[in-house]
Structure formats: C-alpha cells, structure tokens
Amino acid sequence: MEIEGIKIDSKFLKILSSKFEKKIQKIQKEVFKISNKEFNIASPKQLGEILYNDLKIADLKKTKKGGFATSASVLEDLAFKGHKFPQLILDWRQVSKLKNTYSDSLPEHINPKTKRVHTSFLLAATTTGRLASSDPNLQNIPIKSEDGRDIRKSFIAEKDHVLISADYNQIEMRILADLADVKELKKAFKKNEDIHSLTASQIFNTDIKKVNDDQRRKAKAINFGIIYGISQYGLAKQINVSNYEAEKFLNSYFAKFPEIKVYMDQTIKFCRKSGYVNNIFGRRSHFININDKNYNVRNFQERAAINAPIQGSAAEIMRLAMIRLDKKLTNQKTKMLLQIHDELIFETHKDEEKRISKMIIEEMSSVAKSDQHSFSIPLTVDLNTGENWGTLH
C-alpha cells in the first residue's frame, strides 16, 4: 500500500550530512591517534582486533559466530570503566548511522513527480499484526538524540499547511491492564495517573508524589520489560542493578499486580496446547516452536507469545482507527501520511487544523469503545502540530 507521501527538506539534509561528515572526520582522527594506525572503523573484524589485541581493553566477549563482540552495550561498559577509545567508537557509530541511513539516503527517495518521499506500508509482514514500512522505512526516523531530532526536523509541511502528530498514550500498558484484568492498573488509567510513577510508588513502597527520577526510570524499564517478558537477569542489565535487586523488584511487582503473573502463565499454557495466541480482536499469532526441546528456542517463543497479544491488540486498534479516519477525511484538505505503530502523522491545511484535530482525537480514542469490542480502559490521545516533525507543540 503506497500512500500520500511526505515532503522533506533536502537542502537541510545536505547541511546535516556535511555537519555529520565533519564530526566523523574529527572522531576518526582521534581514534587513529589512540590505535596508532589507520583502519576501517566500520569493520567489526578490524575494530575487534584493535580493541582486544592491540589495546587489550576488552574482556573476551564473542559474537555468535565467534568474532569479537563490539556492540554498544559492550563498549558502554568499557567507556564506563574510563576508557576513551570505546566512547569514540560509540560516537562514530552514532553519527555515521545518522549520515548513512538518513541524511544521505532520504533525499534519494524523493519521487521526481510528486517531490515527496513515499514509503511502502507492508500490511502482512509481521507476526503480531503491526504494519512495517520500507523503501524507505519511515517508522524508524531518529528522535532520541539531538542530532537525530535534526533529521526529523527535515520532514516538513507544505506552505499554509501543518503536520499533525497524534499518538496513543501508553497504549500497550493499557492493553495489558485490560487483557490481564489488572485491578490496580485499570484504576490508575481511569484516574489518568502517570503509570510509571504509580509502578514506582508500588514497588518502592513510597507515596506517588515522592517518587524520584531514578525510581521512575527503573519502574518504566520494568513496565516495558514486563510487556516483553524480561527475566531478572535482563532487567538487572537494563537498569544496572544486581541480580538480587532485580529479582526483588520483579517479586514486588508481581505482588502488587498479581493478575499479570496469572496472565503470563495462562498465555504460555494456552500456547503450548494450541500453538498460537489470540489478541483482543481475535487475530492469531502462531508459535509452532513453543514446545521445542531447546531451552533458548522455547524461551524465545514464550516471550514472543506473551508479547504478541499486547503488541497485536495495539496494532489492531490502530488499524481500526486508520480505517475510520480514512473515511472521515474524504473531501477534506487533510491527508494521512504516516503510521508509526502508536502514532499517526497528518498534513492539514491551516484552515481546518482545529476542527480536524478535534475529530482525530475523537475517532482515535473511541475506536475500541464500539459494541463489538468494548475495551475497559479509556484510550487517551496526545496531539501536537507544527511546521516540521521534529518540533511539535
């Protein structure tokens, strides 16, 4: 399915590319100075040899195929221990990723007729029911770093138009609350509470108003981890605490939200028996290796089976919203341009911005309230507008 297409500012991207190139050159110089020789930083083999053999600053961590591991988490550990070299590699990777994957490549996707970038949305490419985006993938445009957000700023609206971004607030946690019938979570969403702060207050046994940033950050990691079926070991790595502490967090989490543990156990049990799981709307995800004799294969399938109804229900809600919005937007000066899983991007004429914004929020938040699928949690939608996708208000 190819849809409208979005305008990008290729001059701005060109400026970004040369800015990135300068950074890359500068970092390279420092890297070569430390390593005492020039090599291809992008070559995992050469980099690994320098890191492990020449500089001797890495413990022996290997990849699947037996090469030296140089992933970000390995390098971050080393950087944390005070080594300058790994941090330089991390910086180099970040900037060259932005340049190669985004600022250099996006302008090549501009359609000469429409002067816009048209992604392809794949409707049946995922196991959960999500869409996928390719050629180019516009579902992974950077936002987390400052330089990354600059890339996002190159996505712009036509003259006299603005971009609208509308996203579902915490949709997967809301679905988990509904799916597993989690009393405390449902209560919190009905009161529109900050869910990560609430989780923090529950597992750290403090008043919700006294939760600090670090506690909230850890609670957030746990909430996401739960959705993905994390282990105590994985959680410990993620939030940088001991295994013992991570185990304590998970225990008190399941004590406060016992229905979640029940949901997980039941989902796996059902999947072992049937080979599939259903989401709220009846879409099936198949996991035929759920009973595999190999521990890794089996555990991987179990985590995926826990996650699929949650991710899949969210995907389904978004699909329904898109269908409703598509109908509502016929004969309007507003086009639906992008879907990024829980977010929709529209381009609208300033004349109808207010009215359309109201309509989008109404349609998206009421989509799972119909007779066929009564959803026990309110869905809230955050909507922002702006001249570009990087700066929205």
Partner DNA sequence: GGTTCCAGCGCG
Partner DNA sequence: AAAGCGCGCTGGAACC
- 89-118: contacts with DNA (CB under 7 A): 90, 93-94, 97-98, 100-101, 105
Q: Which C-beta is closer to DNA: that of 13 or that of 235?
A: 235
Q: Does residue number 51 form part of the binding site for DNA (CB under 7 A)? A: no
Instruction: Name the segment binding DNA (CB under 7 A); options: 30-38, 203-211, 299-307, 321-329.
Output: 299-307
In three state form, how does the secondary structure of 358-383 look? HHHHHHHHHHHHCCCCCCCCCCCEEE
Give me the helix-helix angle, 183-190 and 171-179, nearest 10°.
130
Q: Does residue number 303 form part of the binding site for DNA (CB under 7 A)? A: yes
Q: Which C-beta is closer to DNA: that of 5 or that of 136?
A: 136
- Of 28, 46, 169, 365, the residue at the interface with DNA (CB under 7 A) is 46
- Of 6, 13, 88, 221, the residue at the interface with DNA (CB under 7 A) is 221
Q: Does residue number 182 form part of the binding site for DNA (CB under 7 A)? A: no
- Of 37, 72, 84, 369, the residue at the interface with DNA (CB under 7 A) is 72
Count Cβ atoms within 10 A of the Cβ of residue 300 and give its class: 0-12 exposed, 13-18 middle, 19 or more buried.
Answer: middle
In the complex, least distance from residue 380 CB atom to DNA, rounded to whole angstroms: 15
Nearest one of 95, 87, 86, 139 to 117, comparing CA atoms: 139
Q: Does residue number 130 form part of the binding site for DNA (CB under 7 A)? A: yes
What are the φ/ψ torsions at residue 132 (nearest 5 degrees)?
A: -125, 155
Q: Is the peptide bond before 44 cis (omega within 30 degrees of 0)?
A: no
Q: Which C-beta is closer to DNA: that of 151 or that of 156?
A: 151
In the complex, least distance from residue 349 CB atom to DNA, rounded to whole angstroms: 26
Three-state DSSP at 387 gives coil
What's the CA gap between 351 and 328, in Å, rounded? 17
Q: Does residue number 132 form part of the binding site for DNA (CB under 7 A)? A: yes
Q: Does residue number 40 form part of the binding site for DNA (CB under 7 A)? A: yes
Three-state DSSP at 116 gives coil
Contacts of 62 (CB under 8 A, 6+ apart): 68, 69
What's the CA gap between 328 and 321, in Å, rounded? 10
Three-state DSSP at 345 gives strand
- Of 17, 70, 313, 385, the residue at the interface with DNA (CB under 7 A) is 70
In the complex, least distance from residue 299 CB atom to DNA, rounded to whole angstroms: 6
- Of 4, 38, 135, 214, the residue at the interface with DNA (CB under 7 A) is 135
What's the CA gap between 12 and 155, in Å, rounded? 10
Q: Does residue number 65 form part of the binding site for DNA (CB under 7 A)? A: yes
Q: Which C-beta is closer to DNA: that of 243 or that of 352?
A: 243
- Of 184, 247, 343, 353, the residue at the interface with DNA (CB under 7 A) is 343
